[in-house]
A and B are shown apart, each in its own frame.
Chain A
Amino acid sequence: MSESSLPVILVVDDNEDNAHIIRDYLEAKGYPISVAYNGDEAMTLFESMKPSLVLLDVMMPGRDGWQVCREMKGHPTLGRNIRVIMVTALQDWMDKRQALETGADDFIEKPFELARLVQSVERNAALLTPAS
């Protein structure tokens, strides 16, 4: 995938330090990045920026990551062409089932290595439909 065609990524994390580390690292790899610090902000940016990939922290005050994922995936127009990576440890079966039911596509455990983050971003980017 050439740099110019790299997908727009929305990073959602209420911990500003975490969000900035992810943003800086992915920006250095050439990805266009937007950052939201809570669920409401995430939904607003989701509609204005129309990202293809979302990196979504689960534990946030207000609307948590699960609810945000559900709303993004259920969006009548944008929900079809988006992939959501949950940033959480889905350790047991129940967590994974729940993640599937919200429509999430992937997860990375927290704390994560940046290399693992890029791997997850790349494998999801590879599955995006060209139109998105």
Chain B
Amino acid sequence: MPNYRRFFLRGESPKVPTVPESIDSIRQQVQDRKELLVLYFNFDRYTKIEEIYGWEQLDQILETTADAMREFFEGSVLRGSQMMVSFNNDDDFVLFYVPQAGEPVPTDDDITMLTAQLHAIIAAKVEEMHGEDIAALFDTFVGRAHIHYDPKIRLERQLYRAIREAASSSNSVEQREFGRKAADLRETLRIGALYIDYHPIVVADTKDIFGYEALARGKMKSMRRPEVMFEVAAQTDMIWELSRLCRNTAIGGMDERLKENQLLFINVDPHDFTDPMFTEMDLDVPDPSRVVLEITERTAIRDYPKFRGRLKDFRDRGYRFAVDDAGSGYAGLGSIANLEPDFIKLDISLINCINDNFIKQSMVEMVVRFANDQKAMVIAEGVETKEEYDTVKQLGVHLVQGFYLHPPAPPPATPGATA
């Protein structure tokens, strides 16, 4: 498997050099032409992709991105540009463009148009190679700086200043865009513009449907990915409101979507337990034993005794618990044991290509043994291939979720849904 990110981090990429490596190759051109356009491409949420899917996946996405960018620029007015990775942020890209004699420097409008085209092309390429969910997760922001060469000042210094200026202008584009998303979220909450994707969780041995995980998605295009929606909500202090809407919508669809013996898995953030309107009595569920609250291992829990007390209130009422993203960190199984879960959902990074990696297999085996001791069930999510399915089944994983068994359903057609 290519370790692309490491090439970037260490400047070893055969395809994309780092900034210092590129300066010499454009020195003469800048001195002759006396001007340079610097574009800074800030790909938002690549870090999130790594958190969710693991570094192997991000390496591949960076490779796809670099290929798509190179292909795009070769056919654009910026043909002949020098592309490289940012010096201090390996998943951002920097482009140096020295205009040819007699050719005008592209205007702001040209750049805005190119950015939109580039974003569409990268998104399409990422979707084709890595799936729709990942493609919907990232955004592209581009900042620009146009410099006129001053022979009194060292070229390197001028270039680094220009990169900083372009990076900061890409951030202000990002801030404007964030403002737009916050407005979309407020509207989503006001009119309840959510729908629920019910992802089947099946019994590994029989493939019978055991239950469904409710994944809330916004009807507005910008709110399609739950991660994006919750990130915006966290930054605008609307997380409780969003969580309530998601929970109620998911529970509201239970009768219609689930058979009586099937369970509903709902994602709950540990911060939701501080919401005065989230109590074991407030959820409108006729049979709490059919509802499993999923708590991610990723969020730090500040007050463990209090948190466990709240879990107990829910448990006494009949609700069950799952630890989500289990094994994503270094913490091991101790922190999982503290929550006494009924279900342990393995982190996707452990499932991705598990058939190919015996260390992952031994980790999953460890979790299965632990779960069997604790009378809990293990769920492998993100199972996308037959090989992954066969491997987790053979390792004793009880339940399986993923596109190998059930491909993603298209979003429901709703007028104005792509606002």
Residues of A that sit less than 8 Å from B by CB:
70, 73-74, 76-77, 79-80, 90, 92-94, 96-101, 103-107, 120, 123-124, 127
Contacts and interface: CB of A to CB of B under 8 A. Distances in A.
A100 B360 contact: yes
A97 B357 contact: no
A26 B7 CA distance: 33
A96 B362 contact: yes
Nearest to A72: B3
Nearest to B332: A93
A73 B3 contact: yes
**Chain B binding surface, main DSSP class:** loop
B2 interface: yes
B7 A93 contact: no
B12 interface: yes
Interface-central residue, B6, B356, B359, by most chain A CB under 10 Å: B359
Interface in B1-23: 1-3, 6-7, 10, 12-14
Interface in B367-403: none
Contacts of A73: 3, 6
A76 B12 contact: yes
A97 B329 contact: yes
Contacts, number: 60
Contacts of A127: 356
Contacts of B356: 105, 127
Contacts of A98: 330
B55 A101 contact: yes
Contacts of B1: 80, 103
B120 interface: no
Interface-central residue, A73, A93, A105, by most chain B CB under 10 Å: A93
A74 B359 contact: no
A23 to B, nearest CB: 22
A79 to B, nearest CB: 6
B363 A106 contact: no
B366 A79 contact: no
Given A73-B3, A74-B10, A100-B360, 20 more contacts: A74-B6, A74-B12, A76-B7, A76-B12, A76-B13, A79-B3, A90-B359, A90-B362, A92-B332, A93-B331, A93-B366, A97-B329, A97-B363, A98-B330, A100-B359, A103-B1, A105-B358, A106-B357, A107-B358, A123-B358
Contacts of B7: 74, 76
